[in-house]
Amino acid sequence: MQLTLWTYEGPPHVGAMRIATAMDRVHYVLHAPQGDTYADLLFTMIERRDQRPPVTYTTFQARDLGGDTAELFKTAAKEAFDRFQPEALMVGASCTAELIQDDPGGLAAALQLPVPVVPLELPAYQKKENWGAAETFYQMVRRCAASHMPAGDWQRPARDPGRQPRCNLLGPSALGFRHRDDVTEITRLLDALGIDVHVVAPLGARPVDLARLGEADFNVVLYPEIAKTAADWLARTFKQPATTVVPIGVGATEDFIREVAEIAEIDPTTALASHQSRLPWYSRSVDSTYLTGKRVFIFGDATHAIAAARIAKDELGFEVVGLGTYSREFARDVRAVAKELGLEPLITDEYLEVERAVADAAPELVLGTQMERHIAKRLGIPSAVISAPIHVQDFPARYAPQMGFEGANVIFDTWVHPLMMGLEEHLLGMFREDFEFHDGAAPSHLSHGGASEPISVEVPLEPSSNADVMPLWAEDAERELKKIPFFVRGKARRNTEAFATERGLTAITLETLYDAKAYYSR
């Protein structure tokens, strides 16, 4: 058993729902008790979808358990098919139904429906949402493309030079972080390169579209968490190469263009030369000087966390002080990047552990999921959301991709904005002696109601390991510390404490504060 307060990922059948909901003309019959229907609200409320997810739940009850839950499943599947007339039917069990072992796949097959039935075996006690999405997408692709499978020794013939290269875009799904806008952005980018997008899947794809996947020359894997399993199978079966670079950030987008050009055997020079991101200039302009060395903590799914680390370090000049992911399936990739940055990677799905790590790292900016946004809010640190799990506000009305050059513009704005606000607050703070301003007033962008203190954590965090030897702050030093702008105050405090501890000082005086300042500014 694992004690869990908040979870980063739902159960694997929610991943399957993300595929079913993204697609067109499919229906998912889920053997599950009534409470599991809560998952509908993820789509109708958080993503503001105007239709219910295409999911029928059997909603069996305790009194059915002794009787025939299998019959209940068959009835539900038959009725769902008759009512919704899908082109493919997905069937499976949620955690509870997995225990009663009714075999939804076998039961649905017995109905002899005139469409493909895709049984999903998603072990609810071992796996989680993203894995469930990846497995479901893979099963759907396999099943729908099966009739087009070439012989094992088939080789992909060279492209007819008279035809533009074409690729599939794989991975965008329902409830994804900016997936819809990323698809638009990358389609434009590929178009500029002279590459056709053949099928986008699962978002907006019909089962018949999945059957056509093999016709493309190669696959673009936008979200490895969801599409890698399917892309690997397509590579083996249809000899389709797949991209490995995820185009988030200017550098990654350029690498992506090079990779795609190489696979498609085209020349990337014009595309690279004509790129239109404002990020490089914005980052170089003098206004951005104050971004230098900002301490940033990054946590999210592996794809977005890795991309964020590169942007933070190379494109904004931040210092990455923490990097982690809850995607254990991709932990290796995150470990590798953390190692390059000289960091200990945080691989966990325990919320409290992440909270502790953020508090210990004392960052000036937190880039994470909605969970880290709440952590940051409590700790009074600016933050921006970079990855699922996300909230209704992460589905903005405006066009806001993360990928491609426009994505880099969006990222510059969303990450820098909270810090800019910090600077503005400091300028205001210079008038602190004026009666309207006092140090207790929290920056207006950090709290909803202008509460004077960040919301405090209900229970104190465990003290950091060296708390027992932590030197004490003298009153005048503490007062002086408060005069330092709040967005660098954390750093000053940490540096001074580290300085004092190293020298075995038990108290921090005004003197120590300035000695430390001099020491660190060398």
Partner 1 sequence: MTAQAAFAQSNKGCSDAPVLKERGQREVFCGLTGIVWLHRKIQDAFFLVVGSRTCAHLIQSAAGVMIFAEPRFATAIMEERDLAGLADANDELDRIVGQLLERRPDIKLLFLVGSCPSEVIKLDLSRSAERLSARHSPAVRVLNYSGSGIETTFTQGEDACLASLVPELALESADSDKSLLVVGALADVVEDQFRRLFDSLGIGPVAFLPPRRSSELPSVGPHTRYLLAQPFLGDTARALEERGAKRLNAPFPLGAEGTTAWLRAAADAWGIDGDRFEAVVEAPRTRARKALEPHRFRLANKRIFFFPDSQLEIPLARFVSSELGMNPLEVGTPYLHREHLGSELAQLRSDIVLSEGQDVEKQLDRCRTSSPDLVVCGLGLANPLEAEGIATKWSIELLFTPIQGYEQAGDLAELFARPLVRRTKLEV
Q: Which residues bind ligand SF4 (CB under 6 A)?
A: 33, 35-36, 95-96, 391, 393
Q: Cβ(305)–Cβ(298) under 8 Å? A: yes
Alpha-carbon gap, residue 163 to 519, rounded angstroms: 64
Residues 287, 301, 394, 468: which is the catalytic one? Answer: 287
Selected from 111, 197, 272, 352, the binder of partner 1 by CB under 8 A is 352
Alpha-carbon gap, residue 365 to 296, rounded angstroms: 5
Q: Which is nearer to ligand SF4, 57 or 297 (CB)?
A: 57
Packing angle of the helix pair 510-520, 475-483 (nearest 10 deg): 50
- 58: nearest Cα among 35, 82, 34, 90: 34
- Report if residue 348 touches partner 1, rule: CB under 8 A: no
The residue with its CB nearest to ligand SF4 is 35
Burial zone of 459 (CB within 10 Å; 0-12 exposed, 13-18 middle, 19+ buried): exposed
Q: Which is nearer to partner 1, 6 or 437 (CB)?
A: 6
- Report if residue 13 touches partner 1, rule: CB under 8 A: yes
Q: Which is nearer to partner 1, 5 or 158 (CB)?
A: 5
- 134: nearest Cα among 359, 310, 302: 302
Question: Considering only residues 164-223, where is the footprint of partner 1 by CB under 8 A?
Answer: none
Q: Which is nearer to partner 1, 222 or 381 (CB)?
A: 381
- Report if residue 95 touches partner 1, rule: CB under 8 A: yes
Least distance from partner 1 to the Cβ atom of residue 426, Å: 27
Q: Which does 1 bind (CB under 5 to 8 A by kind): partner 1, ligand SF4, none?
A: partner 1
Alpha-carbon gap, residue 205 to 169, rounded angstroms: 11
Vertex 414, ends 411 and 415: CA angle to 5°? Answer: 80
Alpha-carbon gap, residue 478 to 476, rounded angstroms: 5
Element (H, E) at 134: helix 129-145
Q: Which does 42 bind (CB under 5 to 8 A by kind): partner 1, ligand SF4, none?
A: partner 1
Least distance from ligand SF4 to the Cβ atom of residue 96, Å: 5
- Report if residue 375 touches partner 1, rule: CB under 8 A: yes
Q: Which is nearer to ligand SF4, 19 or 124 (CB)?
A: 124
Least distance from partner 1 to the Cβ atom of residue 232, Å: 25
Of the candidate spans 48-56, 325-333, 424-432, 510-518, the one that interacts with partner 1 by CB under 8 A turns out to be: 48-56
DSSP E strands in 5-64: the ranges are: 26-31, 55-57
Q: How many CB atoms lie within 10 A of CB 360?
A: 16
Least distance from partner 1 to the Cβ atom of residue 457, Å: 5
Selected from 239, 378, 432, 517, the binder of partner 1 by CB under 8 A is 378
**Contacts with partner 1: how many residues (CB under 8 A)?**
62
Least distance from partner 1 to the Cβ atom of residue 103, Å: 16
- Report if residue 20 touches partner 1, rule: CB under 8 A: no
Least distance from ligand SF4 to the Cβ atom of residue 98, Å: 10
Least distance from partner 1 to the Cβ atom of residue 29, Å: 10
The string over 338-353, giving b where at least 16 C-beta atoms fall within 10 Å of a residue's C-beta and e elsewhere, is beebebebbbbbbbbe
Alpha-carbon gap, residue 503 to 105, rounded angstroms: 68
- Report if residue 414 touches partner 1, rule: CB under 8 A: no
Alpha-carbon gap, residue 392 to 367, rounded angstroms: 18
- Report if residue 458 touches partner 1, rule: CB under 8 A: yes
- Report if residue 228 touches partner 1, rule: CB under 8 A: no
Q: Which does 100 bind (CB under 5 to 8 A by kind): ligand SF4, partner 1, none?
A: partner 1
- Residue ranges in 291-431 assigned as alpha helix (H): 302-310, 331-340, 351-361, 370-379, 404-429
Least distance from ligand SF4 to the Cβ atom of residue 34, Å: 6
Q: Which is nearer to partner 1, 37 or 509 (CB)?
A: 37
- Report if residue 58 touches partner 1, rule: CB under 8 A: yes
> Is 360 tagged catalytic?
no
The dihedral built from the CA positions of residue 140, 144, 145 and 146, taken in this order, carries a sign that is positive
Vertex 444, ends 443 and 448: CA angle to 5°? Answer: 120
Question: Who contacts 350 (Cβ-Cβ below 8 Å, separation ≥6)?
Answer: 4
Least distance from ligand SF4 to the Cβ atom of residue 300, Å: 16
- Report if residue 79 touches partner 1, rule: CB under 8 A: yes
Selected from 94, 283, 369, 383, the binder of partner 1 by CB under 8 A is 94
Q: What DSSP character marks residue 37?
A: G
Residue 515: C-alpha distances to residues 477, 479, 490, 492, 498 (Å):
12, 16, 17, 12, 12
Selected from 20, 120, 167, 371, the binder of partner 1 by CB under 8 A is 371
Please state the φ and ψ torsions of residue 471, each to the nearest 5 degrees: -65, 155
Q: Which residues are catalytic?
A: 287
Binding interface with partner 1 (CB under 8 A)? 1-7, 9-11, 13-14, 33-42, 44-45, 48-52, 56-62, 65, 76, 79, 83, 94-96, 99-100, 123-126, 128, 351-352, 355, 370-371, 374-375, 378, 455, 457-459
